[in-house]
Amino acid sequence: MIVGDVNVHLNDATTAQVIQLVSLLVRFGLHDVVRQPTHLRGHQLDVFITHTDQPTTSVRVNPPLLSDHSLITVAFNTLSVKQASENMPVWYRRWRPFDVDGFVGELQQSRLLQDAPSDVSELVAFYNSTMNSDVTRTADPLATVTLTCLFI
């Protein structure tokens, strides 16, 4: 399941964003079960995405109360829900203490800005290595946490 505010007016099926989103969902065998406005201004901005082979028994969109978005509740027939879990490592970096001035200084002194390669492939590789090394020097180190993901 994927749930949340996608900030796309899903009620307007003719926009490029909606067409791309729906196409992506179809490609992965997914669909959005919400079919009505979820925002105070009358647009559907929120999704509840499931596998197409997992039928819902009810979808309720409650009017916005504390927020400008609706509360969406969805019920499934538990016999149709397939479950699997997997432990997945997730790497993250604390960005709040990121030294922007230090990063900009490192970047200004780098070969990327001083003497950039003219070959596009070499430039892309050099960009990636420069950014990675400058971020590594000026930001908190990467940390790892293992999450148990439930796939339904």
For the stretch 5-35, what's the b/e string if a residue is b when 16 or more beta carbons lie within 10 angstroms of its beta carbon? ebebbbbeeeeeebeebeeebeeeebebbbe
Q: What is the reported pLDDT for 151?
A: 55
Domain ranges of the chain: 2-80, 86-151
Q: For 139-150, what is each residue's pLDDT tens digit?
A: 777 778 777 765
122 has a pLDDT exceeding 60: yes
| Residues 46/38, Cβ–Cβ less than 8 Å | yes
pTM recorded for the entire structure:
0.53
Q: What's the token pair of residue 130?
A: 């420069």
